[in-house]
Amino acid sequence: MARRPLMKAKAPPRPKPAAQHPVELGWLGGTAGFYLRTAQEAAFQAFARRANGADARPWRFAVLALIDANPGLTQGELAAAIRRNTSSLTPVLDDLCRQGYVSRQRLESDRRTYALKLMPKGNAARIKLLASAVEHERELDRIVGSNRAQFIRILQKVATAFAQDATSK
């Protein structure tokens, strides 16, 4: 992060000199790719900001929500759902288990796998993050307007179409 933090420095509102004459985006300004990226980044940062206090690191809320919706799922299934390598998930789950949010139980039928379950503390954390997420989606609604359902449908299609590419290639 920083060079010699010296103090905890709780989110100092930096002024950020707004660009006076806007940069011409050229061809980029007519692409979906460029805005897909900037929109995603801006939206995620807004969510993290809103969830301030709750821990909203990248996939934490999704992990809690997915374990809640699929009690007993395995780490491999969870990793596939968020398109991450299982080795990336291990430290996340270590952390959630250490905090008493999630339990890992060896499955009797296949003792190599864990059945993941949400613990009461984990459900409480999920609900807290859900409140932020609901607010966040409400703001997205206001921005997106009446085309919300269609917008989501298109994003889904993009995600699945390119994801299929990845496996077929």
Partner DNA sequence: TATTGTTATACTCTATAACTATA
Partner DNA sequence: TATAGTTATAGAGTATAACAATA
Distance of CA 68 to the CA centre of its chain: 15
Which amino acid, 130? L
Partner from its own copies, DNA, none binding residue 57, C-beta < 5-8 Å depending on class: DNA
Instruction: Please count the other Cβ atoms lying within 10 Å of the Cβ belonging to residue 79.
Output: 20
Strands (DSSP E) found in the chain: 102-107, 110-118
Binding mask 3-22 for its own copies (x = CB under 8 A): ----------x--xxxx---
Which of positions 106-145 make contact with DNA (CB under 7 A)?
A: 109-114
Residues 88, 99, 105, 150: which binds its own copies (CB under 8 A)? 150
Instruction: Please count the other Cβ atoms lying within 10 Å of the Cβ belonging to residue 151.
Output: 15
Which of positions 11-70 make contact with DNA (CB under 7 A)?
A: 12, 14, 17, 57-59
* Token digits of residue 120: 């009461």
Partner from its own copies, DNA, none binding residue 113, C-beta < 5-8 Å depending on class: DNA
Identify which of residues 1 and 7 has a Cβ nearer to its own copies in the complex.
1
Check residue 150 for interaction with DNA (CB under 7 A). Answer: no
Please spell the DSSP secondary structure of 55-101, one letter per residue.
---TTHHHHHHHHHHSTT--HHHHHHHTT--HHHHHHHHHHHHHTTS
Partner from DNA, its own copies, none binding residue 104, C-beta < 5-8 Å depending on class: DNA
* Token digits of residue 75: 């780490």
Check residue 84 for interaction with DNA (CB under 7 A). Answer: yes
- List interacting residues with DNA (CB under 7 A): 1-6, 9, 12, 14, 17, 57-59, 74-77, 83-91, 93-94, 104, 109-114
